[in-house]
């Protein structure tokens, strides 16, 4: 039984890492824009952050893109390289 639990623990760690990345990105966007974001508004795939928000808020995020990426990298998420 320990073998199965170890195997499942690896998947849990991988899944948690993706959720944690999205949470950190969401917090940085909230801090820089002052807007509250839901979990469904931010998705991280293959090093790219996809945001699903209104046009005005998206524009504000993209204006602050370099600062956001720097802050995200400072938090230890160096695998993220773009916001879309």
The span from the CA of 30 to the CA of 33, in Å, is 5
Does the pLDDT of residue 14 top 70, yes or no? no
Residue 40: what are its φ and ψ, rounded to 5°?
Answer: -75, -15
Q: Average pLDDT for residues 62-68, to the nearest whole number?
A: 94
Does the pLDDT of residue 16 top 60, yes or no? no
Considering only residues 15 and 69, tell me which one the structure prediction assigns the higher pLDDT: 69
Q: Average pLDDT for residues 27-36, to the nearest whole number?
A: 92
């Amino acid at each position: 039984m320990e073998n199965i639990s170890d195997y499942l623990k690896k998947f849990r760690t991988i899944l948690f890492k993706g959720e944690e990345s999205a949470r950190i990105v969401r917090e940085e966007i909230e801090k820089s824009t002052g807007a509250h974001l839901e979990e469904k508004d931010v998705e991280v795939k293959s090093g790219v952050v996809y945001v699903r928000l209104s046009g005005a808020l998206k524009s504000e995020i993209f204006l602050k893109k370099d600062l956001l990426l720097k802050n995200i990298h400072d938090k230890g998420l160096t695998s993220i390289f773009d916001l879309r």
